[in-house]
Amino acid sequence: MGDLTFGARTAKALTKRGPLCVGIDPHSQLLRTWGLDDDVKGAERFCMTIVDALAGEVAFIKPQSAFFERFGSAGIGLLERVISESRHAGAQILLDVKRGDIGSTMQAYAQAYLDPASPLAVDAVTASPYLGVGSLQPMFDLASAHRRGVFVLALTSNAEGGQVQKAVRKDGRTVAQSVIDEVAAANADAEPMGSLGVVVGATISACRGDDAARSRQMTHGITHTARSGESAHDLDALNGPILVPGMGTQGGKPADLRRVLGRAATWAIPSYSRDIARHGPSAGGLRQAAKQAMEACAEAVGR
Protein backbone atom coordinates (compact mmCIF):
# COMPACT_ATOMS: atom_id res chain seq x y z
CA MET A 1 0.00 0.00 0.00
CA GLY A 2 2.93 2.34 0.57
CA ASP A 3 2.50 5.57 2.50
CA LEU A 4 -0.54 6.88 0.61
CA THR A 5 -4.00 6.75 2.14
CA PHE A 6 -6.83 5.19 0.19
CA GLY A 7 -8.16 8.68 -0.54
CA ALA A 8 -4.81 9.73 -1.99
CA ARG A 9 -4.50 6.50 -4.01
CA THR A 10 -7.99 7.01 -5.35
CA ALA A 11 -7.23 10.56 -6.47
CA LYS A 12 -4.07 9.32 -8.18
CA ALA A 13 -5.88 6.40 -9.86
CA LEU A 14 -8.67 8.64 -11.16
CA THR A 15 -6.09 10.97 -12.67
CA LYS A 16 -3.87 8.25 -14.13
CA ARG A 17 -6.42 5.69 -15.36
CA GLY A 18 -9.67 7.63 -15.45
CA PRO A 19 -13.05 7.41 -13.68
CA LEU A 20 -14.14 3.82 -14.19
CA CYS A 21 -14.81 0.85 -11.93
CA VAL A 22 -15.44 -2.52 -13.55
CA GLY A 23 -17.60 -4.92 -11.58
CA ILE A 24 -16.85 -8.63 -11.68
CA ASP A 25 -20.11 -10.47 -11.04
CA PRO A 26 -20.00 -14.18 -12.02
CA HIS A 27 -23.78 -14.26 -12.28
CA SER A 28 -25.35 -17.41 -13.72
CA GLN A 29 -26.92 -15.47 -16.61
CA LEU A 30 -23.61 -13.87 -17.57
CA LEU A 31 -21.83 -17.21 -17.45
CA ARG A 32 -24.43 -18.70 -19.81
CA THR A 33 -24.11 -15.68 -22.11
CA TRP A 34 -20.42 -16.47 -22.41
CA GLY A 35 -21.21 -20.14 -23.12
CA LEU A 36 -19.86 -21.23 -19.74
CA ASP A 37 -21.25 -23.67 -17.19
CA ASP A 38 -22.71 -22.18 -14.02
CA ASP A 39 -20.07 -23.68 -11.76
CA VAL A 40 -16.79 -22.56 -10.21
CA LYS A 41 -14.81 -23.55 -13.32
CA GLY A 42 -17.06 -21.39 -15.48
CA ALA A 43 -16.79 -18.58 -12.96
CA GLU A 44 -13.00 -18.86 -12.97
CA ARG A 45 -12.87 -18.56 -16.76
CA PHE A 46 -15.21 -15.57 -16.64
CA CYS A 47 -13.42 -13.74 -13.83
CA MET A 48 -9.87 -14.30 -14.97
CA THR A 49 -10.69 -13.25 -18.54
CA ILE A 50 -11.92 -9.90 -17.20
CA VAL A 51 -8.96 -9.53 -14.83
CA ASP A 52 -6.45 -10.33 -17.58
CA ALA A 53 -8.12 -7.91 -20.00
CA LEU A 54 -8.88 -4.98 -17.72
CA ALA A 55 -7.10 -4.95 -14.34
CA GLY A 56 -4.03 -3.44 -15.98
CA GLU A 57 -6.13 -0.77 -17.71
CA VAL A 58 -8.85 0.51 -15.38
CA ALA A 59 -8.56 2.30 -12.05
CA PHE A 60 -10.88 0.06 -10.04
CA ILE A 61 -12.04 -3.55 -10.04
CA LYS A 62 -15.13 -4.39 -7.94
CA PRO A 63 -15.88 -8.07 -7.30
CA GLN A 64 -19.36 -8.74 -5.89
CA SER A 65 -18.73 -11.14 -3.02
CA ALA A 66 -22.13 -12.86 -3.14
CA PHE A 67 -21.52 -14.29 -6.61
CA PHE A 68 -18.34 -15.94 -5.31
CA GLU A 69 -19.79 -17.06 -1.98
CA ARG A 70 -22.51 -19.07 -3.77
CA PHE A 71 -19.81 -21.56 -4.83
CA GLY A 72 -18.66 -22.14 -1.25
CA SER A 73 -14.99 -22.47 -0.34
CA ALA A 74 -13.96 -22.86 -3.99
CA GLY A 75 -15.67 -19.58 -4.78
CA ILE A 76 -13.85 -17.82 -1.93
CA GLY A 77 -10.60 -19.23 -3.26
CA LEU A 78 -11.43 -17.78 -6.66
CA LEU A 79 -12.19 -14.41 -5.05
CA GLU A 80 -8.78 -14.45 -3.37
CA ARG A 81 -7.17 -15.04 -6.79
CA VAL A 82 -9.16 -12.22 -8.39
CA ILE A 83 -8.03 -9.87 -5.61
CA SER A 84 -4.38 -10.93 -5.84
CA GLU A 85 -4.07 -10.76 -9.62
CA SER A 86 -6.03 -7.51 -9.92
CA ARG A 87 -3.74 -5.89 -7.36
CA HIS A 88 -0.65 -7.21 -9.17
CA ALA A 89 -1.95 -5.58 -12.38
CA GLY A 90 -2.22 -2.22 -10.66
CA ALA A 91 -5.98 -1.84 -10.09
CA GLN A 92 -7.52 -0.71 -6.82
CA ILE A 93 -9.87 -3.43 -5.54
CA LEU A 94 -13.24 -2.44 -4.09
CA LEU A 95 -15.00 -5.47 -2.61
CA ASP A 96 -18.78 -5.19 -2.67
CA VAL A 97 -19.81 -6.97 0.54
CA LYS A 98 -22.24 -4.47 2.15
CA ARG A 99 -21.40 -5.68 5.65
CA GLY A 100 -23.06 -4.08 8.66
CA ASP A 101 -23.04 -5.31 12.25
CA ILE A 102 -21.98 -4.32 15.74
CA GLY A 103 -19.11 -4.77 18.15
CA SER A 104 -16.79 -7.75 17.80
CA THR A 105 -18.65 -9.01 14.71
CA MET A 106 -18.01 -5.75 12.89
CA GLN A 107 -14.38 -5.95 14.01
CA ALA A 108 -14.13 -9.46 12.53
CA TYR A 109 -15.55 -8.27 9.20
CA ALA A 110 -13.00 -5.47 9.20
CA GLN A 111 -10.17 -7.94 9.83
CA ALA A 112 -11.40 -10.18 7.01
CA TYR A 113 -11.33 -7.45 4.37
CA LEU A 114 -9.02 -4.68 5.59
CA ASP A 115 -6.24 -6.38 7.57
CA PRO A 116 -3.26 -7.01 5.25
CA ALA A 117 -2.74 -10.39 6.95
CA SER A 118 -5.99 -11.64 5.38
CA PRO A 119 -5.97 -13.22 1.89
CA LEU A 120 -9.23 -11.32 1.27
CA ALA A 121 -7.72 -7.92 2.10
CA VAL A 122 -8.71 -5.26 -0.44
CA ASP A 123 -8.33 -1.53 -0.89
CA ALA A 124 -11.89 -0.75 0.20
CA VAL A 125 -15.21 -2.38 1.02
CA THR A 126 -18.86 -1.38 0.96
CA ALA A 127 -20.72 -1.25 4.28
CA SER A 128 -24.30 -0.73 5.45
CA PRO A 129 -24.89 2.00 8.07
CA TYR A 130 -28.42 1.04 9.01
CA LEU A 131 -27.47 -0.22 12.46
CA GLY A 132 -26.17 3.32 12.91
CA VAL A 133 -23.11 4.85 11.29
CA GLY A 134 -21.35 4.53 14.65
CA SER A 135 -21.63 0.74 14.42
CA LEU A 136 -19.12 0.89 11.54
CA GLN A 137 -16.42 2.49 13.70
CA PRO A 138 -14.35 -0.73 14.04
CA MET A 139 -14.19 -0.89 10.25
CA PHE A 140 -13.34 2.80 9.97
CA ASP A 141 -10.57 2.40 12.55
CA LEU A 142 -8.95 -0.58 10.85
CA ALA A 143 -9.26 1.08 7.46
CA SER A 144 -7.44 4.12 8.83
CA ALA A 145 -4.74 1.99 10.47
CA HIS A 146 -3.97 0.19 7.22
CA ARG A 147 -4.60 3.10 4.79
CA ARG A 148 -7.68 1.48 3.27
CA GLY A 149 -11.18 2.72 2.60
CA VAL A 150 -14.87 2.15 3.28
CA PHE A 151 -17.83 3.10 1.08
CA VAL A 152 -20.96 3.61 3.18
CA LEU A 153 -24.36 3.05 1.57
CA ALA A 154 -26.17 6.37 1.41
CA LEU A 155 -28.61 6.52 -1.53
CA THR A 156 -29.36 3.32 -3.42
CA SER A 157 -31.46 2.94 -6.54
CA ASN A 158 -33.68 0.06 -5.40
CA ALA A 159 -37.31 0.97 -4.86
CA GLU A 160 -37.35 -0.25 -1.25
CA GLY A 161 -34.40 1.90 -0.22
CA GLY A 162 -36.29 5.17 -0.34
CA GLN A 163 -38.56 4.18 2.54
CA VAL A 164 -35.59 4.43 4.87
CA GLN A 165 -33.03 6.59 3.09
CA LYS A 166 -35.38 9.42 2.14
CA ALA A 167 -37.26 9.48 5.43
CA VAL A 168 -36.97 12.93 7.02
CA ARG A 169 -35.60 13.26 10.54
CA LYS A 170 -36.74 15.78 13.14
CA ASP A 171 -33.84 18.05 12.23
CA GLY A 172 -35.12 18.29 8.64
CA ARG A 173 -32.39 16.15 7.10
CA THR A 174 -33.09 12.89 5.35
CA VAL A 175 -31.60 9.72 6.81
CA ALA A 176 -29.33 9.54 3.75
CA GLN A 177 -28.12 13.11 4.32
CA SER A 178 -27.30 12.31 7.94
CA VAL A 179 -25.17 9.37 6.73
CA ILE A 180 -23.41 11.63 4.22
CA ASP A 181 -22.81 14.26 6.90
CA GLU A 182 -21.26 11.76 9.34
CA VAL A 183 -18.91 10.48 6.65
CA ALA A 184 -18.04 14.08 5.71
CA ALA A 185 -17.17 14.87 9.33
CA ALA A 186 -14.74 11.94 9.40
CA ASN A 187 -13.10 13.21 6.19
CA ALA A 188 -12.68 16.79 7.35
CA ASP A 189 -9.31 18.36 6.50
CA ALA A 190 -8.01 15.27 4.64
CA GLU A 191 -5.89 15.99 1.56
CA PRO A 192 -6.49 15.50 -1.33
CA MET A 193 -9.60 13.79 0.08
CA GLY A 194 -10.62 11.40 2.83
CA SER A 195 -10.65 7.62 2.65
CA LEU A 196 -14.30 7.19 3.61
CA GLY A 197 -16.75 7.38 0.75
CA VAL A 198 -20.43 6.88 0.11
CA VAL A 199 -22.45 4.82 -2.34
CA VAL A 200 -24.96 6.78 -4.44
CA GLY A 201 -26.88 5.02 -7.20
CA ALA A 202 -26.72 6.49 -10.68
CA THR A 203 -30.48 6.25 -11.15
CA ILE A 204 -31.78 7.82 -7.93
CA SER A 205 -34.73 10.10 -8.59
CA ALA A 206 -33.89 12.67 -5.91
CA CYS A 207 -31.22 14.87 -7.45
CA ARG A 208 -29.09 17.55 -5.95
CA GLY A 209 -27.70 20.57 -7.69
CA ASP A 210 -27.13 24.24 -7.12
CA ASP A 211 -30.81 24.62 -6.23
CA ALA A 212 -30.26 22.37 -3.20
CA ALA A 213 -28.08 24.95 -1.47
CA ARG A 214 -30.56 27.73 -2.24
CA SER A 215 -33.42 25.61 -0.91
CA ARG A 216 -31.57 24.98 2.36
CA GLN A 217 -30.95 28.68 2.83
CA MET A 218 -34.61 29.43 2.23
CA THR A 219 -35.76 26.85 4.77
CA HIS A 220 -33.14 27.39 7.50
CA GLY A 221 -31.47 24.04 7.12
CA ILE A 222 -34.29 21.83 5.88
CA THR A 223 -33.09 20.20 2.68
CA HIS A 224 -35.64 19.81 -0.10
CA THR A 225 -36.27 20.68 -3.71
CA ALA A 226 -39.13 23.11 -4.15
CA ARG A 227 -39.79 22.08 -7.73
CA SER A 228 -40.22 18.35 -7.25
CA GLY A 229 -41.06 17.98 -3.57
CA GLU A 230 -38.36 15.32 -3.31
CA SER A 231 -35.38 15.52 -0.98
CA ALA A 232 -32.17 16.92 -2.42
CA HIS A 233 -28.93 15.61 -1.02
CA ASP A 234 -25.87 17.75 -0.53
CA LEU A 235 -22.57 15.98 -1.24
CA ASP A 236 -20.37 19.06 -1.59
CA ALA A 237 -18.79 18.73 1.86
CA LEU A 238 -18.13 14.98 1.60
CA ASN A 239 -14.43 15.36 0.74
CA GLY A 240 -14.33 11.70 -0.22
CA PRO A 241 -14.91 9.33 -3.14
CA ILE A 242 -18.39 8.41 -4.35
CA LEU A 243 -19.01 4.92 -5.70
CA VAL A 244 -21.77 5.13 -8.31
CA PRO A 245 -23.28 1.73 -9.16
CA GLY A 246 -26.10 1.18 -11.62
CA MET A 247 -24.29 2.44 -14.70
CA GLY A 248 -25.05 0.90 -18.09
CA THR A 249 -27.46 -2.04 -18.09
CA GLN A 250 -29.24 -0.82 -14.94
CA GLY A 251 -30.02 2.50 -16.61
CA GLY A 252 -27.37 4.91 -15.38
CA LYS A 253 -25.72 7.14 -17.98
CA PRO A 254 -22.62 9.36 -17.82
CA ALA A 255 -24.83 12.46 -17.94
CA ASP A 256 -26.46 11.29 -14.69
CA LEU A 257 -23.22 11.79 -12.77
CA ARG A 258 -23.54 15.57 -12.70
CA ARG A 259 -27.32 15.38 -12.35
CA VAL A 260 -27.09 13.21 -9.25
CA LEU A 261 -23.83 14.36 -7.68
CA GLY A 262 -23.50 18.00 -8.68
CA ARG A 263 -20.01 19.41 -8.08
CA ALA A 264 -19.05 16.31 -6.10
CA ALA A 265 -18.98 14.38 -9.39
CA THR A 266 -15.27 15.26 -9.56
CA TRP A 267 -14.60 12.32 -7.22
CA ALA A 268 -17.14 9.94 -8.76
CA ILE A 269 -16.21 6.30 -9.36
CA PRO A 270 -18.82 5.13 -11.91
CA SER A 271 -19.26 1.36 -11.78
CA TYR A 272 -20.20 -0.78 -14.78
CA SER A 273 -20.66 -4.55 -14.56
CA ARG A 274 -22.92 -6.34 -17.03
CA ASP A 275 -22.70 -3.58 -19.62
CA ILE A 276 -18.99 -4.28 -20.02
CA ALA A 277 -19.01 -8.04 -19.31
CA ARG A 278 -21.53 -8.66 -22.11
CA HIS A 279 -18.79 -7.77 -24.61
CA GLY A 280 -16.76 -10.82 -23.54
CA PRO A 281 -15.28 -13.32 -23.72
CA SER A 282 -13.29 -11.33 -26.29
CA ALA A 283 -10.51 -9.46 -24.48
CA GLY A 284 -10.56 -6.84 -27.23
CA GLY A 285 -14.31 -6.41 -26.85
CA LEU A 286 -13.96 -5.95 -23.08
CA ARG A 287 -11.18 -3.39 -23.46
CA GLN A 288 -13.07 -1.40 -26.08
CA ALA A 289 -16.24 -1.33 -23.99
CA ALA A 290 -14.28 -0.22 -20.92
CA LYS A 291 -12.45 2.46 -22.89
CA GLN A 292 -15.69 3.90 -24.27
CA ALA A 293 -17.35 3.92 -20.84
CA MET A 294 -14.33 5.58 -19.20
CA GLU A 295 -14.04 8.26 -21.86
CA ALA A 296 -17.76 9.08 -21.65
CA CYS A 297 -17.61 9.32 -17.86
CA ALA A 298 -14.43 11.42 -17.93
CA GLU A 299 -16.07 13.88 -20.29
CA ALA A 300 -19.21 14.01 -18.13
CA VAL A 301 -17.31 14.89 -14.95
CA GLY A 302 -14.73 17.13 -16.62
CA ARG A 303 -11.64 14.95 -16.21
What secondary structure does DSSP assign to 146-195, as a single string?
Answer: TT-EEEEEEE--SGGGHHHHTPBPTTS-BHHHHHHHHHHHHHTT-SS--S
Distance CA 275, CA 135 (A): 34
For the full predicted model, state whether its pTM sits above 0.95: no
Tell me, what's the pLDDT at 274? Answer: 95
Domain ranges for the chain, please list them.
6-301
Q: Provide the pLDDT confidence category of residue 221 given band limits of 50, 70 and 90.
A: very low
Q: What is the mean pLDDT of residues 51-65?
A: 98
The 10 Å Cβ neighbour count of residue 108 is: 12
12 is catalytic: no
pLDDT surpassing 60 at residue 25: yes
Name the helix (H) or strand (E) containing 245.
strand 242-247
Q: Which residues pair with 194 in a beta bridge?
A: none
Tell me, what's the pLDDT at 228? Answer: 37
Q: What is the mean pLDDT of residues 155-178?
A: 92
Distance CA 190, CA 164 (A): 30
Catalytic annotation, pick one of 12, 41, 98, 253: 98
CATH topology of domain 6-301: TIM Barrel (3.20.20)
Q: Provide the pLDDT confidence category of residue 158 given band limits of 50, 70 and 90.
A: confident
Distance CA 169, CA 223 (A): 11
Tell me, what's the pLDDT at 136? Answer: 98
Report which of residues 152 and 214 the model is more confident about: 152
Q: What percent of the chain is predicted at pLDDT more than 70?
A: 90
Length of the chain: 303
